[in-house]
Structure 1
């Protein structure tokens, strides 16, 4: 049993949208295929992975460092103790050889993308959905097949007025979402308040709005927004300042009694631990958005979950960024609080397998081997091209 090839390609996910910090007009991602010599149903088992939006393709790092380390390793050193499957932890350690700790940079994205493909292959070799495999290995054995999802959108783009924003949000609630999210910080506070009030005006009882500043604010602006937002019953106030400015986040907690959310741009267990230690986050109401596809993958995410438990946090306070099926499987298998979703953006990489519908804010995980990419026809078409 061995990995015989790891293939990667850079793919565009460009769009004319923008948030408070960046536009997505030149955005790319890396798509990876891990090809094994294991045969199932007459075909070799191939695991797939890709990185989340908001970062760029990492092909150079993969080709120069991480892929060669795996392919040059003795295959016997990458197998689990049963001898019947690959070991993601051993593969992760092999990729990290000769890497200094700290200063994680973009390597966490490159490794996280390959790690996703490895876990897809491991679950397929085991003949199980990844969420079932995770529940058996690291959970209580019983996955939670119903997973909360919220609809992320509300971006700024040229010519988008309040009517267009309201129509967008109504399209999400019309598809079964109970929580929707919009961007703030790209216009003045007064303009953003008008946008927020417009959306709140079209939501029905039981439906909630979250807002996301994408790290745009300094302390004074973050606090000014906190005071203004306190009049609304928001689902959360997300990433007000620079993701590594833990003092800003801690100060914000003194001015905002509602739920805060952050973490999508923290790419290691150590950075996540610093947020918990110094960021003023409150385990009874706040949300953590660490994204395994950007943060060294599931192997590192498991370390992060262990750290959270040691610090009195439940995995149910984690709702990962990214809107991809990997985090859906982690949520179902390990008891996270849910997952982000992009109903209309970053396709074909976002979204759910074909036929999966949102019902009052929840989806039900289908029985598909691995992560379930093969159940999403437009995405699998891109993956098959890479694997062929």
Structure 2
């Protein structure tokens, strides 16, 4: 058993939207395919991966460092001890050879993208949906058969007024979601409050609406928003300050009694641990949004979950950023609190299997080996272009 090829290409993930920090009109992602010599139904097993939105394609790092290391490794060095499958833990060691600790930059995204493809291949070789494989290996065989998801949207669109925001949120509720998230910080506080009021008219009350500042604010501004948001009883107030401003986050947590959410822009277990130590987070209410793909992959995320348990945190407080099938499988297999979803943006990469509808805020996972990329009709052409000629 061996990996015969690791292929990559850059694909567009652009949308005419913006949050408080960036616009997504030029957003890209890396598509990766890990081709093996294992044959199923007359075809080689291929694992597929891509990086989550908000971080651009990683082609240079993949081509110059990460992929050559994998292909140069002895086949046995990438396999489980019993030689029956690929070992993503050993693969990560190979991918990170000769890399200095810390300063994660973009390499964490490149490694995480390949990690997704590796786990897809591992589950396909094992003949299991990824979430069941994860549950058996790392969660006492306890898998969630359905996962809570919320609709992430409410971006600032060119020419979009508050009525347009309301129409968007109504569509999400009609799709089966029971909670939505919208952006703040890209307008004045007064205008954002008017947008929030308009959203509440649609979703009903604060427990069905989260707001996301995308780490835009300094501490003073974050506290001003916190004071204005406090009476609304929102589902959560997300990323009020910079991701590494742990003291600033602790100041907001001390002043704001409602739930806070953060973590999507921290890219290692060590950074997540510093947030736990110094960020003032409260394990009875706050939400942790570490993104497995952006932070060296599931291998590192499993280390993060272990660290959180040592800190007294329940996995149910974890709702990963990303809004894609890989994170959904992790949520189901590891017993997390839910998963983000992007019903109308970052397509065709966002969202879940085409035949998995949202019902009362929950989605079920299909019984297909691997992650299930093949069940998203608009996504598979992105990978077909990558692997043309290999099958």
Q: Report TM bin, short chain.
A: over 0.9
Q: Which residue in 2 is equivalent to 1:291?
A: 291
* Aligned partner of residue 77 in structure 1, secondary structure: helix
The CA deviation at 1:142 is 2.4
Superposed CA offset, 1:1-48 (max 9, x none):
000000000111111100000001111010000000000111000000
Superposed CA offset, 1:50-100 (max 9, x none):
001101000000010010000000101111012110111000100010011
Q: Which residue in 2 is equivalent to 1:8?
A: 8
Report the Cα distance in structure 1 between the residues aligned to 2:202 and 2:105, rounded to whole angstroms.
41
Q: Which residue in 2 is equivalent to 1:153?
A: 153
Report the Cα distance in structure 2 between the residues aligned to 1:42 and 1:208, rounded to whole angstroms.
48
Report the Cα distance in structure 2 between the residues aligned to 1:366 and 1:12, rounded to whole angstroms.
27
TM-score (norm 1): 0.99
Q: How does 1:155-174 map to 2 (within 5 A)?
A: 155-174=155-174
- Computed over aligned residues only, the root mean square deviation of the Cα atoms, in angstroms, reads 0.9
Superposed CA offset, 1:175-218 (max 9, x none):
11011000000001010000001110112379600000000000
Matched, 1:261 2:257: no
Matched, 1:200 2:196: no
Q: How does 1:35-54 map to 2 (within 5 A)?
A: 35-54=35-54
* Aligned partner of residue 35 in structure 2, secondary structure: strand
Contact 1:180 1:208 in 2 (8 A): yes
Q: Which residue in 2 is equivalent to 1:106?
A: 106
Contact 2:323 2:340 in 1 (8 A): yes
Report the Cα distance in structure 1 between the residues aligned to 2:47 and 2:217, rounded to whole angstroms.
39
Consecutive unaligned residues of structure 1, counting only runs of 5 or more, are none
Superposed CA offset, 1:133-170 (max 9, x none):
00000002021011000000000011110100000001
Contact 2:179 2:203 in 1 (8 A): no
The CA deviation at 1:381 is 2.1
TM-score (norm 2): 0.98
Aligned length: 388
Report the Cα distance in structure 2 between the residues aligned to 1:181 and 1:218, rounded to whole angstroms.
21
Deviates more, 1:377-386 or 1:150-159: 377-386
Q: How does 1:13-32 map to 2 (within 5 A)?
A: 13-32=13-32
Report the Cα distance in structure 1 between the residues aligned to 2:127 and 2:53, rounded to whole angstroms.
29
Report the Cα distance in structure 2 between the residues aligned to 1:133 and 1:206, rounded to whole angstroms.
37
Report the Cα distance in structure 2 between the residues aligned to 1:345 and 1:46, rounded to whole angstroms.
27
* Aligned partner of residue 89 in structure 1, secondary structure: helix
Matched, 1:136 2:151: no
Q: Which residue in 1 is equivalent to 2:242?
A: 242
Report the Cα distance in structure 2 between the residues aligned to 1:86 and 1:154, rounded to whole angstroms.
40
> Structure 1 residues 206 and 25, CA, compared in 2 at 3 Å: closer, same or farther?
closer
Report the Cα distance in structure 1 between the residues aligned to 2:342 and 2:320, rounded to whole angstroms.
13
Q: Which residue in 2 is equivalent to 1:57?
A: 57
The CA deviation at 1:368 is 1.2
Report the Cα distance in structure 2 between the residues aligned to 1:313 and 1:61, rounded to whole angstroms.
34
Report the Cα distance in structure 1 between the residues aligned to 2:70 and 2:28, rounded to whole angstroms.
24
Deviates more, 1:127-136 or 1:75-84: 75-84
Contact 2:124 2:370 in 1 (8 A): yes
Q: Which residue in 1 is equivalent to 2:355?
A: 355
Report the Cα distance in structure 2 between the residues aligned to 1:347 and 1:203, rounded to whole angstroms.
24
Q: How does 1:67-146 map to 2 (within 5 A)?
A: 67-146=67-146
Matched, 1:316 2:312: no
Report the Cα distance in structure 1 between the residues aligned to 2:113 and 2:107, rounded to whole angstroms.
10
Report the Cα distance in structure 2 between the residues aligned to 1:35 and 1:255, rounded to whole angstroms.
51
Q: Which residue in 1 is equivalent to 2:214?
A: 214
The CA deviation at 1:273 is 0.4
> Structure 1 residues 205 and 22, CA, compared in 2 at 3 Å: closer, same or farther?
closer
> Structure 1 residues 215 and 205, CA, compared in 2 at 3 Å: closer, same or farther?
closer
Contact 2:251 2:280 in 1 (8 A): yes
Report the Cα distance in structure 2 between the residues aligned to 1:211 and 1:285, rounded to whole angstroms.
15
Report the Cα distance in structure 2 between the residues aligned to 1:279 and 1:324, rounded to whole angstroms.
27
Q: Which runs of 4+ in 1 moved over 6 A?
A: none
Report the Cα distance in structure 2 between the residues aligned to 1:292 and 1:313, rounded to whole angstroms.
18
The CA deviation at 1:384 is 1.8
* Aligned partner of residue 377 in structure 1, secondary structure: coil
Contact 2:353 2:372 in 1 (8 A): yes
